[in-house]
Amino acid sequence: MKKIVLCCMAGMSTSMLVSKMKKAAEDINLECEIKAVSADQLKSNLDGTTLVLLGPQIKYKLPEIKKICDEVNIPCDVINMMDYGSMNGKKVLDFAIKISK
């Protein structure tokens, strides 16, 4: 089972995207756990995590967060701004599946 953590400034703006990603996962019968956390909460939410995706608004934090994720061998990347802005859960889920292989 995949455990995907979406990370943004406060964990709020990604909550709607999490819902849409969960729906997209249900549609393809993919068993996964997806949740949103703030950048400050990331370290305490890495246990069992298979992938970390950053909201485009904190793209500038990628080097810092990538370092944290690399230490525990978890892939990390930034969500496409257009997919994030349109809350396209299917495209973001497809991206997550692609980079977590």
Residues belonging to the active site: 8
Residue closest to 5 by CA, chosen among 99, 94, 96: 96
**Chain centroid to CA 77: how far?**
8
Both tokens of 26, joined, read 């249900």
Give SS3 for 51: strand
